[in-house]
Homo-oligomer: A and B are copies of this chain.
């Protein structure tokens, strides 16, 4: 599914931004997308991928002009409600607050979501925070990334047709300076064109997709393979004898 098509056609006939938003409010997919993101949050929470207030999710509600639904700062991803989402425009300004008031802010990492959406064909960005991505991203930070290769599971990634594919998962140093970090994200996505995700050191996974469905697949596939990577190395290290 490509969430932005309806919106594009709606906005075609309309000349200014205010009108576009008004139209979108009547006939929009903000509510539909946030309901889906609420379910994703429950699922990922049950798997331990968004504990505490960690993780954040976004989905494109409009391409022209660019708008995203995004989780609010400090929300519990396992207990989200549509009211805990905001709609932001392409420079991060809030154009709609899910709770109808001005009390909540978008996720602090909104600029990373925007960077991903600008550099890829993604309509959805999911950031998770698992044990395995935390372990691997810290452990291999000095190598700059990890390679996933030889696994059938890779075929679930968009555009990958064989287990012999080499998927590169870059690791970026973590930072609290979101402007600087967004620039490094953009540079990384330009350098490694076609990758499906990246890690922030000691922080977690960013992945995306042309639809929420594809973004979910990418989370599940990359999380699975990171766990396989660590457990394989440990099994080899202990020289499993049969």
A interface residues with partner B (beta carbon < 8 Å): 47-48, 51-54, 76, 129, 131-132, 134-136, 138-140, 143, 146-147, 150-153, 156, 161-163, 174, 176, 200, 202-204, 213, 216-218, 220-221, 223-224, 227-242
Contacts and interface: CB of A to CB of B under 8 A. Distances in A.
A107 to B, nearest CB: 12
A28 to B, nearest CB: 24
B135 A153 contact: no
Contacts of A202: 150-152, 163
A240 B139 contact: yes
A53 B152 contact: no
Contacts of A224: 48, 51-52, 131
A230 B132 CA distance: 12
A231 B132 CA distance: 8
B237 A233 contact: no
A217 B239 CA distance: 29
Contacts of A240: 136, 139-140, 229-230, 233-234
Contacts of A237: 237-239
Contacts of A217: 52-53, 76
A233 B228 contact: no
Contacts of A143: 242
Nearest to A175: B163
A234 B238 contact: yes
A7 to B, nearest CB: 24
Nearest to A227: B131
